[in-house]
Structure 1
């Protein structure tokens, strides 16, 4: 399977983690974005340069998916890019209420992921096919529609977030690609019997 690397492009030689490939017509791309603050607190210059490279790579992935008529696009990063930080306060308060005693801040604080989310929103506003965004970082298995379109104040229906299992829950996720399904991606969580909450050892 041919795999292209951003490191082969002039000016991006350091970014070997940004990769892309195609399987049976479906475009995949990895983005080197890390949790929990994308290294912004430790080294702002490194964070900004790497984020700029990741944004450029993401834009190229969308352009390539369009040009080759891919049925959709899969984006993969380590970081949870704080989708919820862009929600309206009404949405954020409903989300916070899932934890008793919690409350959403009246004004969201800026995060290191803001430029990336701005670029992702821009791309999604011009892309109508399904996008699966896979990440880890916060160790909570979840599937949802987390990216808010600021133009409509509604969530992009064609972007699905899949956060994989993380410690202490060990499991894996099977994703089937079904062209007959208008949502394209069919997601199935899988748990090892030995890691079940009902396992008695």
Structure 2
């Protein structure tokens, strides 16, 4: 997470971080900061996180990128994939 914070503080280009930590489908802007001049608390909207599905709700997420758009990432949840854990 520290590396993501460092990246967000030093970058002004849109970035997408993808992971599968809690197995809940989530799209958000998780990097927050406090403006030292105003004291206001906010997030860095150009850093987007996609947390993908996990067991038992395994499915794919399609990501489309429009580089010239203010919000360049679009997400599409695909149908569940039949899957069973085998030992």
TM-score over 0.5 (shorter chain): yes
Alignment of 1:9-48 (within 5 A): none
- Larger CA Rg, structure 1 vs 2: 1
2:77 matched residue in structure 1: 189
Tell me the distance in 2 between the aligned counterparts of 1:123 and 1:194.
37
Alignment of 1:56-135 (within 5 A): 116-117=1-2, 119-135=3-19
1:141 matched residue in structure 2: 25
**Comparing both chains, which one has the higher relative contact order based on Cα–Cα distances under 8 Å and sequence gaps of 6 or more?**
2
**1:153 is the counterpart of 2:41:** yes
State the TM-score, normalized to the length of structure 2: 0.76
2:57 matched residue in structure 1: 169
User: Paired residues, what number?
Assistant: 79
Does the CA contact (< 8 Å) of 2:58 and 2:82 recur in 1?
no
Larger strand proportion of the pair: 2
Tell me the distance in 2 between the aligned counterparts of 1:190 and 1:129.
28
Does the CA contact (< 8 Å) of 1:136 and 1:164 recur in 2?
yes
Does the CA contact (< 8 Å) of 2:8 and 2:31 recur in 1?
no
Tell me the distance in 1 between the aligned counterparts of 2:25 and 2:59.
9
1:133 positional shift: 0.8
Does the CA contact (< 8 Å) of 1:130 and 1:159 recur in 2?
yes
Larger helix proportion of the pair: 1
Does the CA contact (< 8 Å) of 1:133 and 1:162 recur in 2?
yes
Does the CA contact (< 8 Å) of 2:59 and 2:81 recur in 1?
no
Tell me the distance in 2 between the aligned counterparts of 1:163 and 1:153.
23
Gaps of 5+ in 2: none
